[in-house]
Amino acid sequence: MHNLVGTSVELFAGGGGLAMGVHNAGFRPLLVNEYAKRAIETLQANEMPGGGAWPLIPGDVRNIVDRFEDLKDQVDVLAGGPPCQPFSLGGAHKGMEDERNMFPEMFRAIRQMRPRAVICENVRGLLRPSFKPYFEYILNELRLPFVEREPGATWQEHNEVLEKLLANDVVPAVERYVVKPTPVNAADFGVPQIRHRVIIVAFRADLGVNWRDFEPQPEYSDEALINSMREGGEYWSQERHGNVDPAVRARVIANLPALDFRNEEVQRKLKLKPWRTLRDAIAGVDENEGRPLPYIPLDAVAKKKQVGDISDHFGWPGARAYAGHTPNVLDRPAKTVKAGVHGVPGGESVMQLDDVTFDGTGFRYMTVRETARVMTFPDYWHLAGPRGEKMRQLGNAVPVKLGQTFAEAVGAALKSVGALNVPWEK
């Protein structure tokens, strides 16, 4: 963890991925809020990195008023992934917003706390053409969060007001934010998972932050991974995966796509670090002190048995692959971890093993701990509830490493203009 340099508030914290990432980047949480029962239990069961209980206020964020106002001008980073549920763009109730949409609560928190910076994470689906008008409205509200919507006004009507104010540049800088949305694939930032999201970052305009001082650059690439897997490549080194069966390694190498080494973009990406894979996550590459997770035998799958002393590493029966739901493969980043009715729907949590005879299929479900590693949670992080609820929390989370990368970039930008709190000595 970095030296503590500032303060943060986390809303819609879920199982704690973004909160931990922001904390790891050096921000001390002053308040953490979550609504879901099992996620609250998870936050209560774990200490912050370095020790101490999370400053948790459980319950509906709409009921938090005075505490936000008490924190006015004390917060460097307000972070969270507000639920943004579907809404209608047509019909008799054109633009009717789903009451589960929590972006308005994020904007209220900004008005009451006036944080120096904001980090919002959300699904890439917000960038779809059908959502574009509302996404632009979200960005405009974030730019002018102190301009409240008139009672009864539609979001379209309020957006017209915001656009006029932005065009005329009449709102004081202290009540404006400069905003930048960034589409990301978590794999490009060292997360062993293909996870497409959009991260919105905002800085209070009066701080004068230059976007050139906010540069969370991708450090990993698929091209570098492919190249590292060639015969004799670093991927198969003794320190990494030297124990893989030669026949398996030969099969992986034979299926590698060709790279155009004459292409300048390929040459640039070859200079980056290799994407991390599911096999890397299980082996503990980068995280968890390089400690590999124990092998899950067939009887542990059949009997749902815990294997080893790392929590939540237990088998689960019934895995299968079928059309439209292909399994994870070990030597690629995992597929996107999703939150479904029973944990992860379809084949997203099924993995194909090196042992093609395993259970007669060669497949098994990923354990909760393997899934947590794919989300870059440390092994000491305990998840509350039954398996399905644990998987739901992971599917809803922000990968810790991705959250830390963006929080570090925000911290560097705030530091560049001398805008960080240093409220205590470590």
Q: How many residues does the chain have?
A: 426
Is 235 in a helix, a strand, or coil? helix
Rounded CA-CA distance 199/124 in Å is: 9
Cα–Cα distance measured from residue 420 to residue 77, given in angstroms and rounded to the nearest whole number: 9
339, 396 Cβ separation under 8 angstroms = yes
Exposed, middle or buried, 278 (CB in 10 Å: 0-12/13-18/19+)?
Answer: buried
In eight-state DSSP terms, residue 142 is: H
d(CA 351, CA 328): 4
CA distance 27 to 127: 29
84, 158, 161: which is closest to 120 by C-alpha? 84
Alpha carbon distance 277, 290 (integer Å): 14
Given a contact cutoff of 8 angstroms between Cβ atoms, the answer to whether 307 and 313 are in contact is: yes
Asked whether the beta carbons of 49 and 144 are under 8 A apart, the reply is: no
Residue 366: both structure tokens together:
């990923």
Q: Give SS3 for 27.
A: strand
Residue of 20, 43, 84, 283 marked catalytic: 84
Active site residue 84: yes
Instruction: Count CA atoms within 13 Å of residue 111 on its CB side.
Output: 15
DSSP of 119-130, one letter per residue? EEEEEGGGGSGG
Exposure string for 361-371, b = 16+ CB within 10 A, e = fewer: ebbbbbbbbbb
Active site residues: 84
